[in-house]
A and B are shown apart, each in its own frame.
Chain A
Amino acid sequence: MVALSAAEVRFIQGGIAHDLRSDGRGRYHFRPFSIQSGVIPQANGSGRCKLGATDVIASVKAELGRPPAGRPKHGSLVISVECSPTAAPEFEGRGGEDLSLELQRALERSLLGGPSGAGAAIDLSSLHLLEGKVCWVLYIDTLVLSSDGNLLDALSIAIKAALNNTGIPKVEVLASTSADEDPELDVDNEESSPLDISRVPITITLTKVGRHYIVDATAEEESQMTAAVSVAVNRKGIVSGLTKRGGIGLDPSILADMISVARHVSQTLIPSVDAEIAASESRAAGS
């Protein structure tokens, strides 16, 4: 929990009103972030994102599974979020479950592409192996290690880095004898192919404090929010998921305004995230 005095609250609110926040940022500026790829060698792909004092890890494990019901030619994505008690003592025991679930649902909304899977972050038909029988299931497991606000955006950056780092093992389907039998598969873990991540969105959360809204709020700023809107935007500027959280109602006109600000911020943020991911990949390959 963040405990703030009345003077601190006024300082934060006044700073936001004057477009000069406590750490010197403007309203639409992100904190500096760093990305580390391949931090979990046991996974097919992984990434760690540090955004200020917020620190999250995402890992991708590819397993063979059955295609989702009604979509025999698709693979599937499964997302989970865990909040480690290292991030805050309140997450001890079952304490982090509410927050984990809220973050998980928001990520599912922006990455899974609805019941038809049409707007999913990864082209689900590329995960398909044998119609109605076998497909790849990508388990995206994320862990919050340290929390200083804006967890959702940090998680989406870590997931993008992890997906970029992921290699899907090459699979050969050996001619199966009959339609009823389970097919035989030959998984070659030596050879793997990368995923197409051009559609993976980055979430940008706009937090409303007083009459203004800001991006990338710290824990102190989040404690003063009246409402927050998280917008998932991909490289082309297409919005693929929305979540409104917290507090008071929002005027529909403000909502439209917030979405356009999120898209505007994404135009500078996404290229810098992509550049950082590419840099960390070459670092990981070099070491």
Chain B
Amino acid sequence: MNRVMLFGQRFHKDDLMLPTEEYYRRRQRSGGLGRWILFIVVVLAVVIAAIGAEVNAQELPGEVDTDAAFLETVTLDEVKAGDLLFTGAEMGRYIPAVHLASQVKIVIRGLVADVQLQQKFQNTSDNWQEAIYALPLPEQTAVARLQIQLGERLIVGKVRERKQAAKIYKAARAAGKRAALLEQQRPNLFTNKVANIAPGEVVQVNIRYIQPVTYDGGTFSLRMPTTLTPRYIPGESVPVHALGGDELNLVTQHNGWALPTNQVPDAPAITPLMQPAEELHAIGSHKMAIEVELHSGLPLAQVSSPYHKIDVEDQEGGRYDVHLREGAVSMDRDFVLRWQPHASALPRAALFSERIDATSEKAGTYLQVMLLPPDDGIRSQRLQREVVFVIDTSGSMSGNSIRQAKESLILALARLSVNDRFNVIAFNSASRALFPRPVVASAENIRRARQEIEILNAEGGTEMAPALRLALEQQLPGDINLVHQVVFITDGAVGNEQALFEVIHQHLNNTRLFTVGIGSAPNNHFMRKAAQFGRGAFVTIGDITEVRERMHALFTKLENPVATDLQLSWPEGLVADAYPKRIPDLYRGEPLQLVARVEGGNFQGEIKLRGRMADKQFVRKLALKVDESGHGGSLGSLWARSKIESLRDQQMQIGESSDTGQVLREQILQLALAHQLASPYTSFVAVEEKVVRNEKDKLARGPVTNVVPRGQVLQRQAYPSTATGVYTQLLAALGLFSFAALLSRGRKLRSNMVHQLRYLLRKVMPDVRCTQNSFEARPGGVRP
């Protein structure tokens, strides 16, 4: 009976034109070629059937629920507690009502970039819309202006205390006036809301921000994020009664997918909806054009962008114009520009000054100083190191990121010398150390570590605090002959950054923490601040081809002596308020970069930087001189931004809610108001006086999605995985049994054992088919 099932009915050979019996005899002798072919055909058929079933299933949703009316958008007035909201359109695809187009103009002078970001929000629906957009910005920006542009008209935004600004905006929204609100959620993540965009209308929002340029290892660089990696929100959800039934409001106000938790109370504000780039391009949204005007003041050897194709035009007077070759590009990865002076003209020091004459508190003289410690004549003496590598294997790392992370880790392991000690910690929801304690970097241990690293998968949560604690506690502080280092490889996609900085601050001892930022859109705020609190340095890797070069930059820092005990002295009679307040240790290639506000005395003399490097004292001098290079007030903004950051760091160490924390809050607030900057406590708000929307027209909420970073897999943020794959296994079992049956048939010599097995097989096979049949017989079972 099995044979009939497997081979089908055989016709009588007289009825058909069939090969001769001789042929069959030969075929029997020649062995199982025919059976092999049959097997392959069977397997192919199974695979094709499986694919067919899958495709059928994919096409179904559109047919099944056509009667259900899908809500394309949800109006604010309609959103009442209990409404079942589906923002999805047909085929499970979300089509945003508000489209986004961005244009960026960057002017770089000296060590400051002045960026004009123009974002056009186009309402493609028939309703009035409120656009809500999570705007990623560079981590050290000072946001200095917000404007709404309507044709030729400009509505200028003002800085107000955060709650007050939100109130003004809400009132304007309800009254039907055009309004924009820019709130800081994280130093590198803002929320931009634009209310009352008429059907078919385009509203342009202009944002201006100031950003310092990075100089490291002889290369200047500037980074601008265009999207973000979805952040993991740790902690328990806040109980409903604590929210006062307000959570719907919270989520819809911020366009977030996460509810507040005890660790991340502002979760909805930092978890925008994400959409794959292809979907957004299909509707022509989320494109960005970038133009850079680079006044380097130095002849450049090279201008490059690692993730975009650019055209560089060499203008007169050390000016370079940079454009994207493809015009507007997808907003799915950070834009990075690097420029390198000729080796003979590498700057060792720079000083920029600016005098702001205003009646406000902002008036004063501001200085920007860049000073490199000496790096010649100091032999690098290789110290014994103990390195703990921490690799993030959370879900947000899936796709290209985990490959880059593994590659960099393996490269770092190969770099260890035999006297070094190391350990590897992999974490997602849980942390796991490869060895209980750091071990000697012997060939055997490294081989073992490599094997373990190769099999790592990216899935699960990002519980970073336990991993950090584990890494920092691995190293015994008593051993002063060893250099303790932690290398943290992650995309930094977490919502509780502040808490993590606290962990680093408390558990650091004499360890140094280095961060390696991975992916097309890493959280650079986390990378930079973690390295700052960890007294280390950070590098970012955005592409697999970059791993070697960027890791080499990190090794240079890990292996070379550090300039420590740095102190800066100012000329007599000059009072300077300089930030960062405490000068960090400088790694090979890193300059001292600070901004100061100076008062009193003559503007002359020398700034002296004293420090130690490889047990030798050094002094670097820089003569003060007035230079009016025309920064347009940007140094003042930069100074205020640095001071706010310094105050925030102090506040973190003593707690925001303590008395001193509240005093610091007040200081930050006053500083931000005086300098008209966005800060944790101040927001920009712009309101048009004219009422444009009638009361009877409803206002819909149009969340503007962010593009999924290139090379990343979209996270299933809320829905759990709800299938076991049991059908696949049953099918595989059936296929394997069929093949086994095929093999056993037609054998000339049947040993006793095989005979018994066949007997067993005959007994088993009907059972298996019954199991399969029972699945087919079920309602809604396998589709034909």
Say whether A and B bind each other. Answer: no
A-contacting residues of B (Cβ < 8 Å)?
A: none
